[in-house]
C-alpha cells in the first residue's frame, strides 16, 4: 500500500507540471516556425514625382497649353440679303482668289437694275431736251427777243437735267453692284473651314456664311499666360511647340504677339507663330498644343523657388527630399532611379512662381513633390514622368 501511494503521488506531480511543459514546447515550436517562415524585408523602390529648383531671378523654360489656329481666318458674308440658290464649295475645299463660293437669288435685284437703266435713259432724254431748250433761249437772248429771266430759267432747267442724269447713272451703278453682291467670291487663296448655310436658306446682309482660312501662311498657336510670367515674355523670342496629334515632332516657333490686357481670369493672351517648314502643313486649326518658351526672371528677386508641395513639415521643422541621380544620368527622365536625401530648409515668401527657399536647396537640384510622408532618408526612388 505504501508503494502504491508513492506511485500515485508521483503521477499527480507529473500531471501538475504537464500543462507548463506543453506551453513551453508549443511556444518553442511557434518561435522556431516563425523564424523559418519570416521573409527578409526587401528595400522598396517607391515612384515619386519631382520638380527642379531654380533661382528666382534666372531665365527659365515654362510650358503653357494652347490651341492652333490658321495664320488668317475670314468670315465671309453676302453684302445683301436674299435666298441662297447655290453653294459651290464644301468643308475642306481648296479655293482660289476670285472663285465663286455661293450665290443668292438675284431676281429682285436684277429688276431694280433694269429700273435704274430706264431711269438713266429717261434722265438722259430730259437732259438732251433741256440742253436744246437752253441753246434756243441763248440764241433768242442774243437776238434781243428773250429776256434775261428767260435765259436764267433755261439755264437752271439744263443744269437740273444734267444733275438728274448723273444721279440716275449713280443709281444704276449701285443697282449693278447689288446684283454683283449676290455672288460671294473668295478674297484670297485658301481652304474652306466652315459652311454655315444651305440652299434655299434666307440670309441677311453681313451674316457669316462661309469661313475661309489661309493655308499658305505659317500656322499659329494662341496661349494664355498667367500674370506671374507675362512680364518676362517678349515678342521675338524663340519657342518650341508640341502637338499631341503630331507625335515625335517638335516645331520651332517665334513669339509674335504678347497681350497687354488680361483676357479674364485665364491670363494674358500671347501668339506664337510656327517657323515655315514643310512639316508645318500637318498642323491644323483647333489642334491642342504645348508651347515652351524662356521666361525672364525678375531682376529684383532672390533665393531658390520650388513648388509649395515639395516642402514638408514635422517636429524637426520644414524639410525637402532632394533626389540625387546616378552619375550616369545627366538629366531626369521617367524611370530613372535616384536616392532621396532629406534636408532641413529655411523658407521665405510664397510667390506666384513658387515657394522661396532661403537655405537648404541649390539651383538646379531636383526635389520630390508628392508622397513626402512615405519617403525616408537614403531611400531609392523611381522618377515618374513630370506632370
% of the chain beyond a pLDDT of 70: 82
Report in angstroms the alpha-carbon separations of 188 from 84, 100, 141, 278, 330.
Answer: 22, 12, 62, 21, 51
User: d(Cα 118, Cα 325) in Å, to the nearest integer?
Assistant: 90
Each residue's pLDDT tens digit, 72-95: 889 999 999 999 999 999 998 999
DSSP β-ladder status, 380-383 and 337-344: antiparallel
* CA distances from residue 324 to 49, 50, 336, 377 in whole angstroms, order as listed: 13, 11, 10, 11
Over residues 215-237, mean pLDDT: 84
Q: How confident is the model at residue 117 (pLDDT cuts 50, 70, 90)?
A: very high
Alpha-carbon distance of 123 to 167, in angstroms, equals 9
Q: What mean pLDDT is predicted for residues 310-314? A: 90
Which of helix, strand or coil describes residue 101? strand
Q: How far are the Cα atoms of 71, 75, 225 from residue 195, in angstroms, in the given order?
A: 19, 10, 32
Q: Are 45 and 146 in contact (CB under 8 A)?
A: no
Length, in residues, of the chain:
387
Mean pLDDT, rounded, for 135-159: 90
Query: Which 3-state string (H, E, C) describes 6-24?
Result: HHHHHHHHHHHHHHHHHHH
Closest alpha carbon to 80 in 170, 176, 166: 176
**What is the Cα–Cα distance from 284 to 275, expressed in whole angstroms?**
15
Residue 182 φ then ψ, to 5°: -75, -5
**Planar angle of CA 340, 342, 348, nearest 5 degrees:** 125
Integer angstrom CA distances of residue 77 from 42, 99, 105 = 72, 14, 15
Rounded Cα distance between 21 and 15, Å, is 10
The pLDDT assigned to 293 comes to 84
pLDDT for 38:
42
Beta strand extents in 259-370 (DSSP E only): 268-274, 288-295, 304-306, 312-314, 317-325, 337-344, 346-351, 354-359, 366-368
Q: How far is CA 78 from the centre of its chain?
A: 30
Cell numbers at 144, concatenated: 434781243
Q: What pLDDT, on the 0 to 100 scale, is given for residue 230?
A: 79
Please give the pLDDT value at position 52.
Answer: 84
Cell representation of residue 150: 428767260
Strand partners, 22: none
For residue 59, count other CB atoms closer than 10 A to its CB.
Answer: 13
CA distances from residue 308 to 52, 76, 276, 339, 351 in whole angstroms, order as listed:
12, 50, 40, 21, 10
DSSP state of 192: E
**26 has a pLDDT exceeding 60:** no
Count the neighbouring beta carbons within 10 Å of the beta carbon of residue 372. Answer: 20
Residues 234 and 295: their CA atoms lie apart, in Å, by: 8
Res 347: pLDDT: 87
User: What is the band of 165 on the pLDDT scale with cuts at 50, 70, 90?
Assistant: very high
Amino acid at each position: 500500500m505504501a508503494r502504491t501511494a508513492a506511485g500515485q503521488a508521483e503521477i499527480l506531480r507529473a500531471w501538475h507540471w504537464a500543462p507548463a511543459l506543453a506551453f513551453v514546447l508549443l511556444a518553442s515550436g511557434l518561435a522556431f516556425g516563425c523564424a523559418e517562415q519570416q521573409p527578409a524585408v526587401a528595400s522598396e523602390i517607391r515612384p515619386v514625382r519631382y520638380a527642379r529648383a531654380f533661382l528666382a531671378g534666372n531665365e527659365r523654360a515654362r510650358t503653357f497649353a494652347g490651341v492652333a489656329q490658321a495664320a488668317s481666318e475670314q468670315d465671309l458674308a453676302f453684302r445683301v440679303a436674299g435666298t441662297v440658290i447655290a453653294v459651290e464649295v464644301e468643308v475642306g475645299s481648296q479655293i482660289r482668289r476670285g472663285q465663286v463660293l455661293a450665290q443668292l437669288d438675284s431676281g429682285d435685284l436684277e429688276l431694280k437694275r433694269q429700273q435704274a437703266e430706264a431711269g438713266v435713259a429717261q434722265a438722259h432724254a430730259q437732259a438732251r431736251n433741256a440742253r436744246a431748250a437752253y441753246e434756243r433761249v441763248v440764241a433768242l437772248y442774243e437776238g434781243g427777243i428773250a429776256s434775261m429771266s428767260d435765259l436764267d430759267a433755261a439755264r437752271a432747267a439744263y443744269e437740273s437735267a444734267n444733275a438728274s442724269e448723273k444721279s440716275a447713272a449713280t443709281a444704276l451703278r449701285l443697282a449693278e453692284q447689288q446684283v454683283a453682291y449676290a455672288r460671294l467670291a473668295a478674297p484670297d487663296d485658301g481652304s474652306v473651314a466652315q459652311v454655315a448655310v444651305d440652299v434655299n436658306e434666307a440670309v441677311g446682309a453681313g451674316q457669316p456664311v462661309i469661313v475661309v482660312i489661309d493655308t499658305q501662311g505659317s500656322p499659329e498657336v494662341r496661349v494664355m499666360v498667367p500674370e506671374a510670367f507675362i512680364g518676362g515674355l517678349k515678342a521675338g523670342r524663340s519657342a518650341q511647340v508640341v502637338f499631341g496629334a503630331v507625335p515625335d515632332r517638335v516645331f520651332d516657333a517665334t513669339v509674335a504677339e504678347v497681350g497687354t490686357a488680361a483676357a479674364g481670369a485665364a491670363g494674358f493672351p500671347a501668339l506664337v507663330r510656327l517657323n515655315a517648314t514643310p512639316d508645318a502643313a500637318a498642323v491644323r486649326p483647333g489642334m491642342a498644343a504645348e508651347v515652351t518658351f524662356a521666361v525672364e526672371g525678375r531682376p529684383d528677386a532672390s533665393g531658390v523657388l520650388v513648388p509649395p508641395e515639395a516642402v514638408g513639415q514635422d517636429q524637426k521643422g520644414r524639410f525637402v527630399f532632394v533626389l540625387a541621380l546616378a552619375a550616369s544620368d545627366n538629366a531626369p527622365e521617367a524611370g530613372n532611379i535616384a536616392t532621396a536625401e532629406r534636408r532641413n530648409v529655411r523658407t521665405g515668401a510664397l510667390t506666384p512662381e513658387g515657394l522661396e527657399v532661403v537655405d537648404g536647396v541649390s539651383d538646379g537640384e531636383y526635389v520630390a513633390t508628392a508622397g513626402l510622408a512615405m519617403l525616408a532618408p537614403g531611400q531609392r526612388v523611381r522618377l515618374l514622368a513630370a506632370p
